[in-house]
Structures are given as structure tokens and as C-alpha cells.
Amino acid sequence: MILVNGVETDYIKADDRGLLYGDGLFETVAVRDSKPRLLEMHFQRLRDSAAKLSIQGFDTDAIAKDIDLIISKSGYHDAVVRLTITRNSSERGYASLSVEANVVISISPLPEYISEKRQTGIEVIFSEVLLNKDSYLAGIKHLNRLTQVLVANEAASKGVDEALVFSEDGIVIEGSKSNVFFVYGDQIKTPYIKDYGVAGIMRQRVIDVAQDAGYRLEEANLTLDHLLDVDAVFVTNCVIGIWPVASLNERVFNNFDCARKLQQILIEDMA
């Protein structure tokens, strides 16, 4: 089921700027027991990102009602809602002063493997794709996702669940669809999101509650050398929640303790 500007349809104009230029933003919202999780955090990131890109003409109160509507009509109890905001259509060319956004909301059932991999852990590799520095767009979940497509395809072609990407200067940044955390005893380190990557909602929740789980958390620039003595690894996003890493480039990890503690603390945030 899809809503476009509150109307049930799968039609959007071929000259929409989201299609032509990736001119827009998106949020992926977990639904558990028919309720969207962490919705206000998603809306705050959306508003902040839209302000930075000068995208306007949408109302998060109306969007919240449409999300409730699409969940109700779908009949799904555990699901994934995709919210896409584009700058609408315009005359040909990059420039646009459009003041009316297009709002597209879709829903799909939560895949069964999501909860399974929270228990078993996942296989991860290092991607051959490198991220280019983009300080202005860093942290924003914009529609330009070609790098993530390439990384995800690389992981799929090698039969693993996720691939971690490095910056051009050798700093580990994130996965194709996730943020990553490294555990060293009672300390957790996660890549600093400044010039690269997406500032994930679940990433922020882990940062918020790490101390409650008995861990000190630090945002840091981490190279491959920093990963040699890591005790455990886990990845996060709002749909998967927290996935422990069972292997990273064939190195096996059996210690899921930190991931388990955080899963328990954040259980109400996850689908």
C-alpha cells in the first residue's frame, strides 16, 4: 500500500525531482505492535535535514496521521514504513524554488529474518567501495544512495549480510544500511559522523543508553589497525535494531554480551 500526499495511489509524476536528481529525503520507520517506533526522532532528523536542503511544504503532524492510517489499513502488526519527501516537480534543470513537497508513504511486512539474526549474529565483510568526503551532506539521509547500492550488491554477491565501508583516507564509517559499533572491554567505540555517513536514529539510541548497560561510549575515527584487538562488533538501524556480528572478514566473534544487553534495554524501540 502506498500513499502519495495522503491519497492511496502508486502514481508519481515522471518529472519529480526525487526521481530525476535524488532531490529529497527519506526515513525508514519500524512498526511494532501496530505502532511506529521513535517517530519523533525520525521527524526531527527529517526537519533538520529539510532545513539544510531548503525543502519545505510538508507537515509532520499530517504525515503522522497518514502513517497511522497506512498501518491500520495494511493490517500489519510488525512492519516497515518508508517515508519519502521530494522537492516535487519543476522546470528542467537543477535549480528549483518549489515550496510544495511530495510526500510518499509506503508499508511492507517486517521480514522474518530480522529477529532471527538478532540471535544468530551476521556475517560482515570490508567493502572495496570507498566513501568520498562530503561534509555538507554528511549525516543526512538523502535520496542519493548509489554508494550504498554498490556496497549492498557487493555484500549480496559474496553471500554475507553486510559490508563495512571506509573513507578514502582509511577511516571506517558505516555499513551499507547500518551504523557500526566496536566493543573493547567496557568501552564501546563508534565512527564519528562528520564528513561521511548517516547519523542513524538507532545509533543515537545506543549512544543514549550505553551507560545504562555498563559501558563507556566514545565517538572516534577508527582505522583498520584499531580493529585488531576488538572484542565484539554490532551494527544498528531502526529496522534491524541491533545485530551482533558473528564474523568480520572471516574473523569469528562469539561474544554477544554487549549487544544482548543493549537489545534488552532498547527492546521497546525495535520492531
Give the CA distances from residue 17 to residues 93, 114, 197, 198, in Å, rounded to whole numbers and listed in that order: 10, 32, 23, 21
* Confidence check: pLDDT of 46 > 90: yes
Q: Which residues contact 2 (CB under 8 A, 6 or more apart)?
A: 8, 9, 10, 104, 105, 106
Kindly state the average pLDDT of the residues 4-27: 94
pLDDT of residue 107: 98
* Confidence check: pLDDT of 271 > 60: no
Q: Cβ(175)–Cβ(166) under 8 Å? A: no
pLDDT of residue 34: 96
Kindly state the average pLDDT of the residues 239-246: 97
Give the CA distances from residue 4 to residues 9, 22, 37, 84, 99, in Å, rounded to whole numbers and listed in that order: 6, 17, 21, 9, 17
Residue % of the chain over a pLDDT of 70? 100
pLDDT of residue 89: 86
Per-residue pLDDT tens over the stretch 53-92: 999 999 999 999 999 999 999 999 999 999 999 999 877 8
Q: Which residues pair with 181 in a beta bridge?
A: 234
pLDDT of residue 253: 97
* Confidence check: pLDDT of 246 > 90: yes
pLDDT of residue 156: 97
- The rounded mean pLDDT for the chain is 93
Per-residue pLDDT tens over the stretch 90-134: 778 787 877 789 999 999 999 999 999 999 999 999 999 998 887
Q: Exposed/middle/buried for 126, CB within 10 Å: 0-12, 13-18, 19+? A: middle
pLDDT of residue 26: 97
Kindly state the average pLDDT of the residues 46-58: 94
Q: Cβ(23)–Cβ(96) under 8 Å? A: yes
Cell numbers 561534509: residue = 135
In this prediction, residue 197 has a pLDDT band, given cuts at 50, 70 and 90, of confident
Pick from 198, 55, 218, 224: nearest CA to 131 = 198
Q: Which residues contact 243 (CB under 8 A, 6 or more apart)?
A: 117, 118, 121, 122, 161, 162, 178, 234, 235, 236, 259
* Confidence check: pLDDT of 135 > 80: no
Q: Cβ(80)–Cβ(31) under 8 Å? A: yes
| E-strand stretches of 160-205 | 162-167, 172-175, 179-184, 187-191
